[in-house]
Amino acid sequence: MVTGHETSLTQDAAAATVGRRAAARLRLAIPARFVSVTATQGCILLDISRSGARIALESPAPTRKSGYIEIGRLELFGMVVRSERLGDGGINAVAFDDPISEAEVLAIRRFAEAFEQRERQTLRDQVRRWVSGEP
C-alpha cells in the first residue's frame, strides 16, 4: 500500500529528473558517419551515452530525421531530437531507438583511445620523416 507521503516522494523524484539526461555522457572527439535515407556524411562524435549522442556535422540534419551513427563496426539507430546551426556547420543531438549497453559504450571508449594513440603515432612518424628528409 502506498501512502500519501510515499506518493509525494515518488512525484518529487520524478519531477527532479525532468530535463536531465537519462544516462551519463562519455565525452569524445572521434570521426564517425551519420547515415540517413537522404545522405551519408562524415561527422565528429562529440559525446555518447546509453540513450543518445551529440555529433558535429558540416550540414546538420533537421529535427525528427531518422538515421544511424556508424562508429567502427557499430551502427547506432536513432532520431535527431535537436539541430543547432553554428557557422559553417552544426550539432545534432540524436536519441537512440533502443538504449545501447554499457559494454557498447566501453567498446566505443576503447575505440576512441586506440584512435587517439594511432593519431599521435602517425604525427610522430610524419615529424620523424620530415626531420630526416624522407618523402
| pLDDT tens, N- to C-terminus, the chain (135 residues) | 444 444 443 343 333 444 455 567 888 889 999 999 988 999 999 999 999 999 999 989 899 999 999 998 889 999 999 999 988 889 999 999 999 999 999 888 888 888 777 778 888 888 888 888 887
54 DSSP β-pair partners: 47, 93
Whole-angstrom CA distances from 124 to 29, 79, 117, 118, 128 are 20, 39, 11, 10, 6
45 DSSP β-pair partners: 30, 55
User: How far apart (Å, rounded) are the C-alpha atoms in residues 109 and 71?
Assistant: 11
Is the domain spanning 23-132 CATH 2.40.10.220? The answer is yes
| pLDDT tens track for 98-132 | 999 999 998 888 888 887 777 788 888 888 888 88
